[in-house]
Amino acid sequence: MTKRHRFAVQRFITVTLMAFAIASASQESVYPLDNGQNIDFDDISGKWVVIGYWASWCGPCREEIRILNEIHRHRTKHNVIVLGLNFDGVKGEELASQKAVFGSEFPDLLADPRERWDEPRPDFIPRTIVVDPQGELSAVIVGSTTRKEILEKITR
């Protein structure tokens, strides 16, 4: 093998490893929650996951949080994990304060997992993402929704 050929092979391996590292980083599976726990989308124990994007300035989000609270209270019955995600990226005490005003009873993600499913940043909220028990994106509901619509998405 010539020196030039060896260099080309080494370069190919380096580029391949870098591409793999970048792909792995964008496919992060473990995400922190505001309650100090984590969720691992590669190991969600066969449950559906419903993620509601919300913000303090979003009027319709108040109603959606009420609906998501109801589903969260009956999460065992529906085999679902309900999570919120503050659209503005608010964290810490400010997040806790906003959740208290809205009456949110379920944990919030502290990082946005949407890239996992090649989803663009929402340009409209509320937005609800439904992830199936295998960790794959199952549905995206844009705008206001109902309890019935969400339950239909997780019971099919």
pLDDT in tens, 121-152: 888 899 999 999 998 999 999 999 999 999 99
**pTM summary value:** 0.81
Q: How far apart are CA 76 and CA 152, in angstroms?
A: 16
- Which has the higher per-residue pLDDT, 75 or 43? 75
Classify 15 as helix, strand or coil.
helix
Q: What is the pLDDT of residues 81-119, one digit of tens each?
A: 999 999 999 999 999 999 999 999 999 999 999 999 999
Please report the pLDDT score of residue 89 as a whole number.
94
Confidence at residue 2, expressed as pLDDT on a 0 to 100 scale: 72
Quote the CA–CA distance of 10 and 16 in Å, as a whole number. 10
Task: Render 64-114 in DSSP notation, one character per residue.
Answer: HHHHHHHHHHTHHHHTEEEEEEETT---HHHHHHHHHHHT--S-EESS--G
Of 86, 112, 116, 115, give the one whose Cα is nearest residue 101. Answer: 86
Q: Which pLDDT score is estimated for 88?
A: 95
What does the pLDDT read at residue 12?
47
Nearby residues of 37 by Cβ (< 8 Å), 6 or more positions away: 107
